[in-house]
Structure 1
Amino acid sequence: MTQYLSAEQILGADDLAYEDVEVPEWGGTVRVREMPGTERDKFESQFIGKDGVGVRAEGMEGFRARLAAATIVDEHGKQMFRSAAETKRLGEKNANALQRVCDVAMRLSKMSEDDVTELAGN
């Protein structure tokens, strides 16, 4: 007989993966966490036009910084970059370092290149 999970069991599950990423360009290690469902929805909505189909006029500008800001967390799992100004400053950091963080974030969040292409409207 199949044992089904209760809502309490599902909501109580610690199910978000994280990975520590060495970033020598920044002089240390950052923790990258998988995006929860609501955060991924919010992240993706930043790129979708008002019509719900097309891409916003600014397109994919700031994609790496936004993804890194959405997934870099402290040792307690709390997002470290919360404001648009912090995200903008993060985008001014080394592109290789940002890409390394984004590669892990995409892998953990099961975000494929096809997902990114779809967001870009290509």
Structure 2
Amino acid sequence: MALNRDSILKASDIKTETVPVPEWDGDVILRGLTGEELDAYQASRRQVRNAGTKQQELVLIQDNARASLLVKCIIDESGERVFTDQDAGLLGMKNGKVLDKLFDVASALSGLSDDEQEEMEGNSETPTPDGVSSSSSPEPSAAPAPSSSEASAPVS
């Protein structure tokens, strides 16, 4: 049976999950983002540098990405947000391992793809509109360069 407009809009489809956080002596309730919130979050994490030039690149803004998502997803028992967007900096000062665990759950509830989660965690390169990587990290060398002390140290 095909759904009509009213049945789609009335459907309760925002999922929640309670996550035990022993480091904080309790549980945290997370909810997934709405489509509008997800779009806004994703847009807030991307920036185009050198727009309109041949050097244009899409850059992923990773600064406090976990806490920036979590302030939108942590709710109380009545379903109200616990934090405001402006609290992301404060939340970001909490234990990184805990934030990472909560981020994974919030990402899954919100529909962030595995690739997007990896990008936020810094495990992947972000392609630019022309397909060129925007990673500003240097390529790792095949072998570490000897230090000056190693190069001049006498051999015994």
Give matches, 1:14-53, under 5 Å. Answer: 14-50=12-48
Runs of at least 4 residues off by over 4 Å? 117-120
Answer whether contact 2:72 2:85 (CA < 8 A) is retained. no
Deviation of 1:83 (Å): 3.4
Answer whether contact 2:107 2:117 (CA < 8 A) is retained. no
The structure with more helix, counted as a fraction of residues? 1
TM-score normalised per structure 1: 0.83
Residues 1:81 and 2:76 are matched in the alignment: no
Q: Which runs of 5+ in 2 are unaligned?
A: 52-56, 128-156
Q: Which amino acid aligns with 2:35?
A: G
Answer whether contact 2:15 2:31 (CA < 8 A) is retained. yes
Counterpart in 2 of 1:110?
Answer: 111
The alignment of Structure 1 onto Structure 2 pairs a total of residues equal to 116
**What SS does the corresponding residue of 1:78 show, helix, strand or coil?**
coil
Counterpart in 2 of 1:67?
Answer: 69
d(CA) in 2 for partners of 1:81 and 1:121? 29
Deviation of 1:92 (Å): 0.2
Answer whether contact 2:20 2:28 (CA < 8 A) is retained. yes
Residues 1:8 and 2:6 are matched in the alignment: yes
State the structure with more CA Rg.
2
> Which residue, out of 42, 55, 60, partners 2:59?
55
Once the two structures are overlaid, the 10-residue window that deviates more, 64-73 or 111-120, is 111-120
Identity score, percent: 34
Q: CA RMSD in A?
A: 2.0
Q: Which amino acid aligns with 2:15?
A: A
